Structure 1
Amino acid sequence: MRFLVWLFRRQLGGQAKALGWGTLHMATVALIPVAMGLTVQAVVDGSGRGLAAAGALLLAMTVLMAAADTMLHRTAVTNWITAAARVQQLLARRTALLGSVLTRRVAAGEVVKVSTGDVEKIGWFVESFSRFAAAVVVATAVCTGLVVYQPRLGLLVLAGVAAVVLTVFPLLPAAERRADAVRAKGGRATELASDTVAGLRVLRGIGGEELFLARYRRASQEMRTASVHSARMWALIDAVQVLVPGLLLTAVVWQGARMALDGRITPGELVTVYGAATFLLFPLRLFQEAASAFVFSRPSARRAVRVLGLRRPAAGDGAPDPAGTAVPPDGELHDPASGLTAAHAALTCVVCGNPDAAERLAARLGGHPADPEGLPSVRLGGIPLDELPLAAARTAVLVQDKDPVLLSGTLAELLDVPCSGAVPPDRALAAAQCDDVLAALAPGGPDRDGDPMRARITERGRSLSGGQRQRLALARSLLTDPQVLVLDEPTSAVDSHTEARIAEGLRALRSGRTTVVFTSSPLLLDRADQVVFVPDGRVAAAGRHRDLLRTDPAYRAVVTREPDPPGGPGAARPGPAAEYAEETA
């Protein structure tokens, strides 16, 4: 509710305009029964002048009603779009701030649901509230006028309006619960659909299409059942809104006709009262619409607040820097939790043996800890990363995970990233060994002119092989030229010859910059200035690759894919085996 109130406060001007135009529009509609009553009475009295005056009044009211309705629609839709756009902007900023933390906290299908359907529901409630407020003002005025004008009929109409409200509103909590269930099951179905589409190639390779199709079919049927269950409640609410007002009109006509036959009211007054009672069906419909919008918007707002309320566990939130003027530090990168130190301006390779542990450690080095409780911050040049502004931390350290994402668009758009300008795109592509990728993309340009930079890359790069996607992502990371570049298995999907050339290109291009590579590939390890062995979350050994092969059996077992020696990880191995392992590496 605080979030919805905040949205209202952000556009009070638009809400005031909609309230004003809505009140004018509905007040004009409410006065039509008065003009109709004057018209009928003029006919009964045979007054031509009275009939002409009533006709002129109806014409003026019609013009005013049309103008007010037009401006109300324009203002209300503007409020709707403004609220929806504001929520989308907030979600986009929060997504950019959270980074990879978002998908670890919230399912991808849930994020898609919030950023599409939920923002529309929130905007709908913001838009409908001003018309609801105008309906309350005008309906209150009409009921008061009826009680004053014809107390008996006015009280009857007032009782009927209260009956409609009292019979509908108790049904709304149940309708809200059912609508919330529909959204939850819809988010699950969307998530399954996204996962199926993203992994379609793999599913076909292992013959798992039918398995995932059956899962999605079950989720879809559960959503359909919940939707029907919810629709029944809304059908009941609609039926009540038809039945009770119908009984009200019947009672008004019956009572009014008896009073007219007794001569207590004139035919014109009967038409006025009946018209006013009929008009009240209009604001009652707006009440029901506002209630529906509120019921649908509350779960949507709750999910939006859940995403907007997420916080990064550390890194960069401690020192605000709205102008973005903070200069990132430089120096060695040190992780107190693991004892890992990456020397300044050197190529450091890290061997973990456990891919999950390597991923967590790489995230920590970039200031994105997965489990920060009790763990000290990584330090760059002696300064903790979580004390830096977020922009400065991201400028200083860039982490490329093992499954980087390629956004759809042209190759030029893919490489259009914030960078220092010191590394041109052609050098980055060459260092990442993307020659075959450029050759494959060249015929796909819009004009068939052979320019690969204008060729389009499909969503997530699905038209490319795994190795090609990995090398394009590496080129993008090299292009940014950060002070510290952390790469998690950047060559796991390429062949050994290409991997050797990438190792040479990476070392040459990153000369003078700090680079940390998580890998167990001997081709990369042999070209590192320093290799750090982190088997169980703590540094166990550090040195040159060939020296560690000779002196550390556990390291040799991880790198050469051999089982631990019989004596355990610390047992010595005979000299010939070490020499053979070194030659093999």
Structure 2
Amino acid sequence: MQIRDLPYSDPGDPDVRSGPRFLLWLGRGQLTGQLKSLSWGLMHQCAIAGLPLGVGLAVQAVVERSGRSLAIAGVLIAALGVLIAVGDTMLHRTAVTNWITAAARVQQLLARKTAELGSALTRRVAAGEVVAVSTGDVEKIGWFVEALSRFAAAAVALVLICVGLVLYLPSLGLLVALAVPALALAVLPLLPRATRRADVQREKAGHATELASDTVAGLRVLRGIGGEELFLGRYRRASQEVREAAVRSARMWALISAVQVLLPGLLLIALVRYGAALVQDGRIEVGQLVTVYSAATLMLFPLRHFEEIAMAYSFSRPSAQRAVRVLALKRGTQPSTLGAMVPEGDLYDPVTGLLAPRGLFTAVVCGDPDEAGRLADRLGGHAEPDGTRADGGEADTAGADDTGQDPAGPRQLPSVLLGGVALDELPLDSARTAVLVQDKDPVLLSGTLRELLDVPSAGTVTAADALAAAQCADVLDALAQASVDADGDPMNTRITERGRSLSGGQRQRLALARSLVTDPEALVLDEPTSAVDSHTEARVAAGVKRLRRGRTTVAFSSSPLLLDLADRVALVRGGRVVAAGTHRDLLRDEPYYRAVVTRESDDGTAAPAAQDAQDAQDRLASIDASRTAEAIEDIGEKA
């Protein structure tokens, strides 16, 4: 595999049983590149190992005053120099190729998994972890794959050198051959502690990065409650913890490096002392001592690769484990058994009993916003193992033992059905075409409005119709004023990253228009009007119902304005649909429904405090809830 051939047409199916198995799988996938690097590495190392022989012959030729022997030694040294230069150049070339291709393969695997899971990925794994894996961890994994062949070349070269020295001069060669294994393995007892300290450093660095991201994301809220200095102090403490952990880790690696210098130094001292005694006794010649000493000195270079491979593995193993956690996620356990088809019919979830009849506008009311998000995700065809919720949701413990664990292990929840067809059994493209889920906080990519609405679609809904249904007239006016075109065309106005130049309601309506343009068989909207005023909300709900007539639409909301326009309303409580009907019927007959929608308790008394708490939680959603709560508590105590 050459760099010019990237990206891979198919990065393959990785072994995600563990981090080391994943690294082994990567190495096997680059076997040709590894063999090339090993060959050039052997050539480079053996050429370096041959230099002492040439130097020893030259010294002995000078002692014996033999011009012919000196010329032969010079030619040998020159030839070895050429081999060293060629070997080093090609070794570097092939090793870097291995590094880049391994990193590219991992990035392709991550990109493929991201496309497969979609928005469900960040519900199962933190977004920061995904970014860390695709950037820093990829480099560390590539480093280990690249260092592996150089380490193998160094190990083989050490064996050849030791065998050669034993054959060349047994009296000194045996001393070197017995000492080299001890030198190579001397650092092994220190590696576990060094690895643990490196893991602690990475953990603390990740915590500090997460804290910084939370602070930046919630800066507006922090200023409102006066918590900037408090969070700044926390970040300073976290930064100092990272520094201290880095120093502790560096001390251990410095100790390993010192051992790598000290023990070979002791070997050279013993070798010179013993060799000098043999020369004095006339048992060996001066040139032979110089040859053995030079070979032992140059052996320090391949010995360094033992330290490097230890460092590379200690850093790449947790990185590979993090990559495995992402790559092991699955859209569903059932393989795609159906062809490229888009089923039609009712949308039904067998787990909750939610039924969205074909062609109707169905609203879903959940008392728990997190439960609504998980259910919306399920309707998109992303089933999760029962009992292993990565998003913190409650698991179904039916059949579990006294400890709350299912003795048979995690079970896969059944897939959502569209027209009686399980979404997990459809190819990914067909499933995405059939059901589209719009998150509560959709992301707008940077680009013009025309590019934003240029998405794969059925072609039956125009951008103008979608914008009109989503009530984007004021958004178009604002974009027209900001347009750089002479005619003020809002479609050519550039939207900044994540739509930061727009208000929350404007971003939400543009995202809704983008979803409407796709015109899927079933459209699932999670709180599509939470950021707009009541008048706009009523018009948006009416526009969506009108535009989606004859198509299945599911909207998660507790807004009476939207619920009153729905053809059918389902009430979900405790993970099951407990009632279904029209908004007015449920409002009259279901106390829990009335409490959620009208913000009253079951006995009819108002519950403004609970709603205020919910509103506060929504406003603080951009920062970590637990840290925000602690910050507010600390500020209250100081006040």
Indicate whether the TM-score tops 0.5: yes
Aligned to 2:548: 510
Q: 1:516 is aligned with what amino acid?
A: V
Say whether residues 1:359 and 2:382 are aligned partners: no
Aligned to 1:405: 443
For residues 278 and 85 of structure 2, the distance between their equivalents in structure 1, rounded to whole angstroms, comes to 35
Q: Pick which of 418-427 and 292-301 moved more.
A: 418-427
TM-score by length of 2: 0.82
For residues 560 and 124 of structure 2, the distance between their equivalents in structure 1, rounded to whole angstroms, comes to 36
Structure 1 position 254, deviation (Å): 2.0
Q: 1:414 is aligned with what amino acid?
A: L
Matches within 5 A, 1:249-260: 249-260=268-279
Q: Secondary structure at the match of 1:526?
A: helix
For residues 273 and 536 of structure 1, the distance between their equivalents in structure 2, rounded to whole angstroms, comes to 78
Q: Pick which of 296-305 and 7-16 moved more.
A: 296-305
Q: Secondary structure at the match of 1:433?
A: coil
Say whether residues 1:68 and 2:87 are aligned partners: yes
Q: Pick which of 87-96 and 116-125 moved more.
A: 87-96
For residues 307 and 486 of structure 2, the distance between their equivalents in structure 1, rounded to whole angstroms, comes to 57
For residues 250 and 470 of structure 1, the distance between their equivalents in structure 2, rounded to whole angstroms, comes to 74
Residue among 141, 148, 158 paired with 1:129: 148
Say whether residues 1:206 and 2:206 are aligned partners: no
Change (3 A) 1:162 1:343: closer
Residue among 345, 359, 362 paired with 1:345: 359
- Does the 8 Å CA contact 1:19/1:133 hold for their aligned counterparts? yes
Residue among 472, 476, 487 paired with 2:510: 472
Aligned to 2:15: none
For residues 370 and 156 of structure 2, the distance between their equivalents in structure 1, rounded to whole angstroms, comes to 62
Please list the CA deviations of residues 83-120 of structure 1 after superposition, one character each: whole Å capped at 9, or x if unmatched. Answer: 11111222222233233443333333332222222221
Aligned to 2:345: 331
- Does the 8 Å CA contact 1:363/1:370 hold for their aligned counterparts? no
Residue among 334, 337, 345 paired with 1:318: 334
Q: Pick which of 24-33 and 363-372 moved more.
A: 363-372
Q: Secondary structure at the match of 2:459?
A: coil
For residues 562 and 132 of structure 1, the distance between their equivalents in structure 2, rounded to whole angstroms, comes to 69
Structure 1 position 266, deviation (Å): 2.3
Q: CA RMSD in A?
A: 2.7
Which of these two proteins has the greater Rg computed from alpha carbons? Answer: 1
Aligned to 2:421: 383
Structure 1 position 245, deviation (Å): 1.0
Please list the CA deviations of residues 282-315 of structure 1 after superposition, one character each: whole Å capped at 9, or x if unmatched. Answer: 1111111112112222222222222222334x4x
Q: 2:452 is aligned with what amino acid?
A: L
Aligned to 1:572: none
Structure 1 position 139, deviation (Å): 1.1
Please list the CA deviations of residues 322-354 of structure 1 after superposition, one character each: whole Å capped at 9, or x if unmatched. Answer: xx9421211122234444322211222223344
Aligned to 2:311: 292
For residues 440 and 338 of structure 1, the distance between their equivalents in structure 2, rounded to whole angstroms, comes to 42
- Does the 8 Å CA contact 1:443/1:450 hold for their aligned counterparts? yes
Structure 1 position 175, deviation (Å): 1.1
Structure 1 position 318, deviation (Å): 1.7
Matches within 5 A, 1:524-535: 524-534=562-572
Please list the CA deviations of residues 441-494 of structure 1 after superposition, one character each: whole Å capped at 9, or x if unmatched. Answer: 456667788454454444433332111111121112112111000112111111
Q: Pick which of 510-519 and 217-226 moved more.
A: 217-226
Change (3 A) 1:548 1:262: closer
Aligned to 1:487: 525
Aligned to 1:578: none
Change (3 A) 1:311 1:370: closer
Aligned to 2:636: none
- Does the 8 Å CA contact 2:336/2:425 hold for their aligned counterparts? no
Change (3 A) 1:15 1:559: same
- Does the 8 Å CA contact 2:117/2:382 hold for their aligned counterparts? no
Say whether residues 1:187 and 2:187 are aligned partners: no
- Does the 8 Å CA contact 1:434/1:468 hold for their aligned counterparts? yes
Aligned to 2:404: none
For residues 533 and 191 of structure 1, the distance between their equivalents in structure 2, rounded to whole angstroms, comes to 36
For residues 550 and 251 of structure 1, the distance between their equivalents in structure 2, rounded to whole angstroms, comes to 96
Q: 1:159 is aligned with what amino acid?
A: L
Say whether residues 1:46 and 2:65 are aligned partners: yes
Please list the CA deviations of residues 378-400 of structure 1 after superposition, one character each: whole Å capped at 9, or x if unmatched. Answer: 32212333343333222211111
Say whether residues 1:175 and 2:194 are aligned partners: yes
Q: 2:179 is aligned with what amino acid?
A: G
For residues 163 and 29 of structure 1, the distance between their equivalents in structure 2, rounded to whole angstroms, comes to 22
Q: Pick which of 462-471 and 69-78 moved more.
A: 462-471
Please list the CA deviations of residues 204-224 of structure 1 after superposition, one character each: whole Å capped at 9, or x if unmatched. Answer: 333332333333333322222
Change (3 A) 1:417 1:511: same
Please list the CA deviations of residues 266-285 of structure 1 after superposition, one character each: whole Å capped at 9, or x if unmatched. Answer: 22222211111111111111
Q: Pick which of 264-273 and 358-367 moved more.
A: 358-367
TM-score by length of 1: 0.89
Say whether residues 1:271 and 2:290 are aligned partners: yes
Aligned to 1:29: 48
- Does the 8 Å CA contact 2:144/2:309 hold for their aligned counterparts? yes
Aligned to 1:582: none
- Does the 8 Å CA contact 2:383/2:414 hold for their aligned counterparts? no
Change (3 A) 1:549 1:156: closer
Q: 2:548 is aligned with what amino acid?
A: R
Structure 1 position 124, deviation (Å): 0.7
Please list the CA deviations of residues 513-568 of structure 1 after superposition, one character each: whole Å capped at 9, or x if unmatched. Answer: 11111223233233323333445554454444445555656545544444445599
For residues 80 and 449 of structure 1, the distance between their equivalents in structure 2, rounded to whole angstroms, comes to 51
For residues 566 and 416 of structure 2, the distance between their equivalents in structure 1, rounded to whole angstroms, comes to 22
Q: Secondary structure at the match of 1:420?
A: coil
For residues 463 and 75 of structure 2, the distance between their equivalents in structure 1, rounded to whole angstroms, comes to 74
Q: Secondary structure at the match of 1:326?
A: coil
Change (3 A) 1:445 1:54: farther
Q: Pick which of 235-244 and 488-497 moved more.
A: 488-497
Q: Secondary structure at the match of 1:532?
A: strand
Q: Pick which of 358-367 and 125-134 moved more.
A: 358-367
For residues 258 and 605 of structure 2, the distance between their equivalents in structure 1, rounded to whole angstroms, comes to 80
- Does the 8 Å CA contact 2:348/2:356 hold for their aligned counterparts? yes
Change (3 A) 1:211 1:421: farther
For residues 412 and 245 of structure 1, the distance between their equivalents in structure 2, rounded to whole angstroms, comes to 67
Aligned to 2:633: none
Count of aligned residue pairs for this structure pair: 563
Question: What percentage of aligned pairs have identical amino acids?
Answer: 69
Change (3 A) 1:212 1:437: farther
Q: Secondary structure at the match of 2:186?
A: helix
For residues 269 and 114 of structure 1, the distance between their equivalents in structure 2, rounded to whole angstroms, comes to 53
Please list the CA deviations of residues 24-74 of structure 1 after superposition, one character each: whole Å capped at 9, or x if unmatched. Answer: 011111111111112222222223333233222222221221111111100
Say whether residues 1:498 and 2:536 are aligned partners: yes
For residues 254 and 453 of structure 2, the distance between their equivalents in structure 1, rounded to whole angstroms, comes to 53
Aligned to 2:613: none
For residues 426 and 191 of structure 1, the distance between their equivalents in structure 2, rounded to whole angstroms, comes to 40
Say whether residues 1:141 and 2:160 are aligned partners: yes
Please list the CA deviations of residues 124-147 of structure 1 after superposition, one character each: whole Å capped at 9, or x if unmatched. Answer: 111111111111111111111111
Change (3 A) 1:122 1:336: closer
For residues 24 and 111 of structure 2, the distance between their equivalents in structure 1, rounded to whole angstroms, comes to 21
Matches within 5 A, 1:83-98: 83-98=102-117
For residues 446 and 124 of structure 1, the distance between their equivalents in structure 2, rounded to whole angstroms, comes to 47
For residues 399 and 267 of structure 1, the distance between their equivalents in structure 2, rounded to whole angstroms, comes to 81
Change (3 A) 1:186 1:447: farther
Say whether residues 1:14 and 2:33 are aligned partners: yes
- Does the 8 Å CA contact 1:35/1:57 hold for their aligned counterparts? yes
- Does the 8 Å CA contact 1:109/1:188 hold for their aligned counterparts? no
